[in-house]
Chains A and B, each alone.
Chain A
Amino acid sequence: MRTAISGLEVRSASSLGEALGILRDDRWTPIAGATDLYVALNFGTLEPRRFLDIWAVNELRDISMNGTTLVIGALATYTSLIRSALVTRQLPMLVEASRQVGGPQIQNRGTLGGNVANASPAGDSLPVLAAVDAVVVLRSADDERRIPITKFYTGYRATVMRPNELIVAIDIPPVEGRQWFRKVGTRAAQAISKIVVAGVRASVPRIAFGSVAPTVVRVPETEGSLAAGANIDEAARVLSREIAPIDDLRSTAEYRMRVATNLLRRFWIETG
């Protein structure tokens, strides 16, 4: 049954300063594109009752370069990532990931900052961000913190964010090496991933998986074995010890393990 809206409170901010001022004084749950949050509302599982609508904070939509760092505003939608010449040049696998999020309707509203904040282990953009050591930029009324994405999640749907903070941007350091992204779902569009993987092929490869653990994960032992010259069979064995997928409504642990190791092989072959 849908959550009754009569008990919900909403405030809207039209600038970052206004939004951070509201969050300093009281506890509000930010809403951006609402594509995840509203599903919970429609299914009656929405816990928060007070919301801060930040959709109109246009200063958080910019995609720009700061020296060699690609800076993606938290409210950049998947559609704007797909259309961005900068993202296409610097981080093409994020364009690929964005194309596979939902359909155009979701891509037009869903935001990169929202995908990070929602903290789903199946978030399509998160392995991309983890594989390139992206940095989550958090701002509060009096402070800014920069947290590597690999340190941002502390457990299932849990992050280091404080209630008075907003994600304002995601910083992408320069990426050397070939980028590779693959999502395996039930169908090509409109599917939540059973397994999602992003990799960068360099002397030390960087590989991240979604949907195999309570959070997005890097697989440092697998990366290390490949960097040390292990063949792909050995690396796949290392991977199968390093991840622990579970059975859930979308897939089984056994299937996920098989597909994860197959995707590791595919990554290695296609980027070799």
Chain B
Amino acid sequence: MKFVLNGASTDVKAHPMARLLDVLREECGLTGTKEGCGEGECGACTVLINGEPVCSCLIPVVQVESADVLTIEGLGDDHPLQHLFMNEVGAQCGICTPGMIMAAIALGPAPTLDDVKTALAGNLCRCTGYSAIYRAVLKWREMPVANISASATR
């Protein structure tokens, strides 16, 4: 199976029905992508395929043939959004964080709070209550953060 992984051509030997999630973690050694629910409900395993966020637990690896796959490792260790998640305390236990960041990274410029909530609607966090996460993402996009309420409505 040949595809582009974090900018580099990759050729992995895997069963075509293997989950992309398992191939990333077990064949490619990239354990930043987490498994949460395994049924597309929590978003913890989010990666980008051709720039679009997807749940890697629901992708048969046969479907990434020739595609461009980006995981949390592809952002490097010094991405501004990672720093903002730390500084704003947008992470506590950390399991949802890579998926949150990968879903947020696909947002276009100048998102409203509602855009951020919609973009992250497929990602569950059981620690932070979401406000700190929304704040981190809005600051990353240099948008005002004044009106974030404590309640998350999406």
Contacts and interface: CB of A to CB of B under 8 A. Distances in A.
Contacts of B46: 105
Q: Which of B40, B62, B123 counts the most A-chain CB atoms under 10 A from its CB? A: B40
B108 to A, nearest CB: 12
Contacts of A105: 40, 43, 46, 53-55, 103, 122
A55 interface: yes
Contacts of B41: 102, 190
A174 interface: no
Main SS class of interface, B: loop
A113 B49 CA distance: 21
Interface stretch (B3-11, B16-24, B88-96, B132-140): B16-24
A10 B17 contact: yes
Interface in B14-46: 15-19, 38-41, 43, 46
Contact of A106 (B16, B40, B120): B40
A53 B58 contact: no
Given A53-B62, A105-B54, A8 B121 contact: no
Interface of B: 15-19, 38-41, 43, 46, 49, 52-55, 57-60, 62-63, 65, 103, 106, 118-124, 153-154
Contacts of B118: 104
Contacts of A56: 63, 65
Contact of B121 (A6, A10, A51, A104): A104
Contacts, number: 96
B45 to A, nearest CB: 9
The 9 lowest CB-CB distance pairs between A and B, nearest first, are A103-B122, A189-B121, A103-B121, A38-B58, A10-B16, A42-B38, A39-B39, A108-B52, A105-B122
Interface string A170-208: 000000000000000000111000000000000000000
Contacts of B119: 104
B15 A6 contact: yes
Interface in A40-93: 41-43, 51, 53, 55-56, 79
A104 B53 contact: yes
A43 B39 contact: yes
A119 to B, nearest CB: 18
10 contacts: A38-B58, A56-B65, A104-B53, A104-B118, A105-B46, A105-B53, A105-B54, A106-B122, A188-B154, A190-B41
A103 B54 contact: no
**For chain A, which range describes its interface: under 10, 10 to 19, 20 to 34, or 35 or more residues?**
20 to 34
Given A10-B16, A39-B39, A42-B39, A109 B59 contact: yes
Interface in A1-60: 2, 5-6, 8, 10, 12, 31, 33-35, 38-39, 41-43, 51, 53, 55-56
Contact of B123 (A2, A10, A53, A103): A103
A141 B149 CA distance: 56
Contacts of A39: 39-40, 58
Contacts of B65: 12, 56
Interface string A97-123: 000001111101100000000000000
B59 A34 contact: yes
A31 B60 contact: yes
Given A35-B55, A42-B39, 17 more contacts: A5-B17, A5-B18, A12-B16, A34-B60, A38-B40, A39-B58, A41-B17, A51-B60, A53-B60, A103-B121, A104-B118, A105-B40, A105-B43, A105-B46, A106-B122, A109-B55, A189-B122
